[in-house]
Every structure is written in C-alpha cells, then in structure tokens.
C-alpha cells in the first residue's frame, strides 16, 4: 500500500460535542428509511441542485429537523438547525470552528413551484471536517434545545420495500411468513428481470449470486398502527418488507414500484401493498409518527417546546415563491437563505 502524498489532509476524527445530547444505549440509533440522493432532488429547482452539487461534502452535511408538518418557513428551520448546532458545537471554540474564511450557513431544499410538498432537507455548509464527520457518526442528535437528523454521505438507498396488509398471521409466525415471501419473490419474473438488470448496471457477472444475496437480505417486521384517536378503533396489523436494493439509485423508484405490485400469496391469505406512510417526526416511510421509535427512547431529550414553529398565517407557497431564482438578483443561483444570522449573506464564505 502506497503512502499518501505529503499534502494529503489527515483523516477526520470524532469530536466530543459540548452540549448535552441523547446517546444510544447498547446499539447505534437506527437509520430512518428516508430517501436516496435522487429522492431529495425530485422536482427540485435546477439552480438549487447545482448549488448543492457544488458543495464539498467534507465540510457540509445534510440535516433535517423533526415535525416538518409543524412549520412552513425554510428560514425558521435554518435558524433552528444553526442554533442547535451552536449548542452542540459552538463555532467560536477552536476545535469546532469553520474553515478559515467561512461561516456556517444553510442551503434550503427548494422544490419546484408545482411540488405540493416542501421536503425538510437542508445542506449546512461551513463545517470543519471533524465536525461534519462527527455529525454523520450517528443519524440523530437530540438535545434540550432541539433535535435534528443527519443523512449519511453518500445518501444510502433505503432497504424498505413495501408494507403488506391482509395477512392475518401472528408475530410468532414471522419466520414462516418470511419463507413464503421469499418464495414469492424467487418465482416472480419481474423480480428476477430487475435484479438481472441491476447486475448489468453494476457490472456484476454472477447474476445468480446477486439474486441469492438479495433474497437472503429479506427481513420482515410486524407493526401495529393505531386506528382512530388513541387506538379507539383498534389496530391495523402490517408486515414491512425490507431488502437490499440490487439496482442503482436511479432505478430505485422502479424497483419499489415493481415490489409493491406483487401479490404475496401465503397460507394466511394474499398480502398486498398497504397505504403509504410518512412519519412526521423522523421522515421515515416505513411507519407513522404514532409508532416512531425515536421519541419513545428513554434517554431522548426532545420536547414539543424545542420544535421549529410555523409563523402565524404562513403557507409554503409564498415562501417558496419569495426565494430568488437563478435569473434574479446578481446570479446567486439560490445559494442560500437571507436570514438575520447571516447578515444578508446566502453563501457559506465570509465577505469583506
């Protein structure tokens, strides 16, 4: 193994943040089943995508706050994230300081004007390499002043594939159920064809090995969704199916569509795709907020009082419309928001 060139930067190290935060007990916090990198940019503004792609991910991180349904203004969320970061790792401390000549800043995700939902992702720039590395060492940071989630780099492809209904078996029968689900996949021509296409795309010669690896990765999780207020109408039993995605990120949407179209025949009935879910806390797509594991953790520090709040009478439409476009201003290409903390600067570098 050759030595790195003399001018190569040393590998980043994990820091000990100052502000109190929740720590996992025995195993790491689970990674929310959120999105792929392509999923972030679905229907996004071209200029905003260009601005994000220009950033050095060694000194930036993709963050998002919980409860995206509770706010509308991106600048409110940007302030929330910067304030929580300031509590965890104050930038005036030498070990947490931004790279020379830069300040911490936020590039909000800006969907196209016809996108009905504003996603909660924010690219925080102006971090030193050690801070960015430490933030990505766990997917969630919960403090008494705020909580946020961090996407890995590169953003992984979620393993969640489908949530099945109409399978009235018991949780103790999850092993036999998994066996029958795997058999359904193994005998499905569309599944075999798409895994084969994934092998070609990924330059894998042994297609059978990829099929076997995908089938072996299948995992089943039982969830019970409360119906009505406080489960007054009982519970809905579902079976979540997870597996490694064998196709590239750009084919992920087609992969999910194919899996969700399968009717999984088992001795308990035929499992079919249930209604989609979206947790308004961690943004996971494999559960609802009522059963999210994060706020239920014993050492979680987050409270309702620390959530970013919507401004009165606000909706997302005028906020998005007010953000500058590529053709407006002095060619800023939507590089950031103009907030009071940034002194009107939308860029991560300090200006004279």
Domain coordinates of the chain in residue numbers? 37-155+307-342, 160-278
| pTM score of the predicted model | 0.82
Lowest mean pLDDT among 20-34, 201-215, 231-245, 311-325: 311-325
Helix, strand, coil proportions of the chain in percent (round to 5)? 30, 15, 55
User: How far is residue 203 CA from its own chain's centroid?
Assistant: 27
pLDDT tens-digit readout, 2-17: 565 556 678 999 999 9
Cβ atoms of 346 and 335 within 8 Å: the answer is yes
- Residue 228 vs residue 4, higher pLDDT: 228
Asked if residues 116 and 61 have their Cβ atoms less than 8 Å apart, the reply is no
CA of residue 181 relative to chain centroid, distance: 27
Q: Which two tokens stand for residue 79?
A: 């302030």
Report residue 45's pLDDT band, with 50, 70 and 90 as the boundaries. confident
Least confident segment among 3-12, 43-52, 288-297:
3-12
CA angle 133, 138, 142 (to 5 degrees): 115
Does residue 256 or residue 114 have the better pLDDT? 256
Residue-level pLDDT at 349: 34
347: Cβ–Cβ under 8 A, 6 or more apart, which residues?
Answer: 105, 332, 335, 336
Mean pLDDT estimate for the chain: 82
Q: Please state, for a pLDDT cut of 70, what percent of the chain lies above it.
A: 78
What is the pLDDT averaged over residues 62-70?
74
102 burial class (0-12, 13-18, 19+ CB within 10 angstroms)?
Answer: middle
Q: Which of 44-53, 59-68, 115-124, 258-267 has the highest mean pLDDT?
A: 258-267
Spell out the alpha helix ranges (H) of 205-295.
207-216, 252-260
Q: How far apart are the first and last CA of the chain?
A: 45
- What does R_g of the chain's alpha carbons equal in angstroms? 22
The pLDDT value given to residue 39 = 79
């Amino acid at each position: 193994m050759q030595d790195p060139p003399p001018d190569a930067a040393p590998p980043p190290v994990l820091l000990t943040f100052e502000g109190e935060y929740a720590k996992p007990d025995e195993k790491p916090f689970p990674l929310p089943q959120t999105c792929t990198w392509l999923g972030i940019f679905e229907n996004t503004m071209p200029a905003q995508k260009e601005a994000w792609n220009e950033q050095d991910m060694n000194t930036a991180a993709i963050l998002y706050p919980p409860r995206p349904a509770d706010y509308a203004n991106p600048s409110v969320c940007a302030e929330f994230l910067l304030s929580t970061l300031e509590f965890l790792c104050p930038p005036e401390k030498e070990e947490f300081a931004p790279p020379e000549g830069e300040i911490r800043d936020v590039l909000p995700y800006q969907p196209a004007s016809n996108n009905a939902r504003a996603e909660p992702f924010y690219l925080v720039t102006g971090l030193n390499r050690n801070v960015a590395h430490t933030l990505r060492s766990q997917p969630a940071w919960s403090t008494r002043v705020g909580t946020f989630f961090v996407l890995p780099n590169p953003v992984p492809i979620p393993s969640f594939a489908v949530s099945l209904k109409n399978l009235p078996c018991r949780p103790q029968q999850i092993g036999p159920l998994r066996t029958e689900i795997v058999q359904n996949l193994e005998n499905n021509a569309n599944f075999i064809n798409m895994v084969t296409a994934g092998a070609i795309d990924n330059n894998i010669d042994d297609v059978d090995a990829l099929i076997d690896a995908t089938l072996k990765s299948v995992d089943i999780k039982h969830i019970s969704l409360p119906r009505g207020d406080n489960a007054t109408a009982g519970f809905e039993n579902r079976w979540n199916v997870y597996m490694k995605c064998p196709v590239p990120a750009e084919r992920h949407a087609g992969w999910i569509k194919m899996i969700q179209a399968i009717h999984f025949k088992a001795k308990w009935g035929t499992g079919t795709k249930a209604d989609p879910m979206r947790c308004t806390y961690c943004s996971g797509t494999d559960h609802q907020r009522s059963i999210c594991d994060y706020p239920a953790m014993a050492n979680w520090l987050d409270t309702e009082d620390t959530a970013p709040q919507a401004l009165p009478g606000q909706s997302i439409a005028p906020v998005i419309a007010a953000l500058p476009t590529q053709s407006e201003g002095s060619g800023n290409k939507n590089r950031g928001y103009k907030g009071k903390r940034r002194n009107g600067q939308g860029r991560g570098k300090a200006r004279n």
